[in-house]
Chains A and B, each alone.
Chain A
Amino acid sequence: MAKWGMVIDLEKCTGCQACSTACAMENNTLPGESWQDVLYYKEGKYPNVNIKWFPRPCMHCENPSCMHVCPTKATYKDENGFVLIDWNKCIGCKYCMIACPYGVRFYTDEKPLIEPDMKKVYPGQDGQQYSPPYQNPNSDWTKGVGIQPKGVVSKCTFCYHKVSKAPAGVADLDEDNPALKEYVPACVRTCAPKARYFGDLDNPDSTVNRLIADKRGVRLLEHTGNKPQVYYLGDHGVVPAFTRPDKS
């Protein structure tokens, strides 16, 4: 058993969104259904502008509020630390979306972000919400893996379909290790500046634990008490408070 976690080094991250598109293609999400997203924040006045960005997967929290509010246990935390959704149990009440402080959940029975709607271009088959021709062959609705049916909530699975097949006892899933790269989450695997690391938070030998300790890792929005299993490195790991933009 492992407690899978991720480390994202904001010092190295270039904000390019390759993690987002790798995820979108690996998991066949719709435009705007960003299981993995990169969120930009801007502060300051010309010429002193302070721009931050945060790559944001699902945090796979130790204490996930989304799971606690789920009225059907469709959202659950498995023994290896994944927070998953059983699409056969999800009733689409969206309470988990209300309860997630990190905004990682999606309900795609909504108006499309991009017109024309991909759901109409590639109509759903076999119960799928939409059925594009380039699908990942992995699908497991009890884990929220694959293309979801209608009326359920979807989110990042930490690439469960890859990670869960990793050899037991591995401390880190390092994409640079040819024997392990197929088990590395898409976002981690493709990260060009190697700003992302994925490993076992329960394993004292893991690089992720080392990095969290050496580089003083932080978790975002700690006050919500969800205790994410995603840690951020770098001296600007603080999400700016919400403000309304200058309007007039």
Chain B
Amino acid sequence: MSNMSQSVPFPESVSRISNLRIGAGAIGLVLGIFAAIGLLTQGHESFNTNSNISWGLPVATYVFFVLTSTGLTFVASLAMVFGMKDFYPIAKRCIWGAIATLVTGFIALGLEIGNPLRMIWVIPTNMATSSPMWWMGLFYLSYAVFLVWKFLLVNKGDWTSGQSKVIGILSFVTVIFAHATLGSVFGMMGMRPFWYGGMVPVYFLITAALSGLAFIMLFINLDYGMNQANMSDKVRSAMTRYMPPIFGLALGLVLVFTLTRTVTGLWSNVPELNIPMSYIVGTFWYQAEIWIGMVLPLALMLSSYRSNAKVQTLAGLLVILALFIGRYEYVVGGQLVPMFKGAWYDDLLMYAPSMTEWGVVILAAAIGLLLYAFGEKKLSLADAPNE
């Protein structure tokens, strides 16, 4: 078994971006703590969520990041589970990215729920197996264990031992179920037609994949200074030959999914589906999501510029933003119609995240970013098995 790392050049531009990233993470951390200070002084009163809009920006953020983690694991698994060796050069990065985004997601969630520490004992002692959320917790926890385990093995250079392979497979399998149960958390809610549907896990699967791919497009290009000259041949090959079509394909599928959901909502007579969708379509953010966040990057991926590192970085960033908007629209959109509130709330509920909620998001994202930066500096993320 060979544990040798491929050495890559490490020019100025790369270390500048790396430093910028650490700087951004540190600033984000400070900003996040500052903004989230309301949480310490006022508790969840500092959130704009309430008894009617119960899940707001932090939950959307959680969904966004844990599904990104899912997507990154998918990409890593292409190599490590399905043996597609061309993806090995970015696999370790993907695993570490999956860990960082998973941590980000869980920080956002942990700061959102009322008694997070209590979960440690009440969830295992009560075995609430009828709850999709319980299963989601089980699978995400297992996934987190396998993911870290796998990374530790890879970090030791153990890419292909029997144990390493099994753990890789387990992390892939658990994340498939994890994201599916996350989808079910929403999709099983028959009383909320905006969310409801057996296809939601599939919708989450495809958006998760896109989310992971978009992060790769953004982060790996940034890692190499948005310059393919800095990449090893194999990385360059992965990023120019394989990633653009996969990314484009996933983006196309997500665009179709988004449009069909939109059209279904607009066409439907069901008020809980039709009214919030009509409202959402009329917002700037929805239009930005579709045109700038999906159509434009798709066009870029269809053009001959798709292999250009800077174009890829831009496309990745735009898709990330679009997906984030999408998660927010999905999570909040399902709650816009008040549930049997009479004249007290006679219109769509209004919600805009508070400073503290943004603070939670910034804080979680900053921690994720710093975690990734740490890995990038210290954990030789460019490693790949010797062939």
Contact = CB atoms under 8 A, between A and B. Distances in A.
- Direct touch of chains A and B (CB < 8 A): yes
Interface of A: 32-33, 37-42, 53-54, 56, 65, 67-74, 89-95, 97-103, 105-112, 117, 119, 150-153, 220-221, 224-225, 239, 241-245
B191 A103 contact: no
Contacts of A99: 189, 191
6 nearest A-B pairs in the assembled complex, by CB-CB distance:
A92-B114, A39-B342, A151-B114, A109-B44, A103-B339, A101-B191
A239 B275 CA distance: 17
B192 interface: yes
Given A41-B342, A71-B131, A92-B114, A244 B43 contact: no
B54 A150 contact: no
Q: Is the interface of A mostly helix, strand, loop or mixed?
A: loop
Interface stretch (B118-126, B211-219, B305-313): B118-126
Given A39-B340, A72-B126, 14 more contacts: A39-B342, A39-B344, A65-B190, A72-B123, A74-B122, A98-B192, A106-B51, A108-B51, A110-B45, A110-B49, A117-B45, A119-B45, A151-B43, A243-B271
B271 A33 contact: no
Contact of B341 (A39, A98, A111, A241): A39
A41 B128 contact: no
A152 B128 CA distance: 17
Contact of A42 (B185, B271, B343): B343
A71 B114 contact: no
Contact of B45 (A56, A70, A109): A109
A28 B269 CA distance: 41
B303 interface: no
B113 A91 contact: yes
11 contacts: A71-B123, A73-B126, A91-B114, A91-B116, A91-B119, A97-B51, A98-B55, A107-B114, A110-B44, A220-B340, A221-B340
A176 to B, nearest CB: 29
A150 B114 contact: yes
Interface core residue of A106, A110, A225 (most chain B CB under 10 Å): A110
Contacts of A105: 51
Given A106-B51, A111-B45, A93 B133 contact: yes
Interface string B113-151: 111101100110011101111100100000000000000
A37 B344 contact: yes
B348 interface: yes
A109 B340 contact: no
B281 to A, nearest CB: 14
A107 B54 contact: yes
B268 interface: no
Nearest to A107: B51
A151 B112 CA distance: 10
Nearest to B130: A68
A112 B340 CA distance: 20
A98 B54 CA distance: 7
B289 interface: no
B335 interface: yes
A92 to B, nearest CB: 2
Interface in B44-92: 44-45, 47-52, 54-55
A247 to B, nearest CB: 8
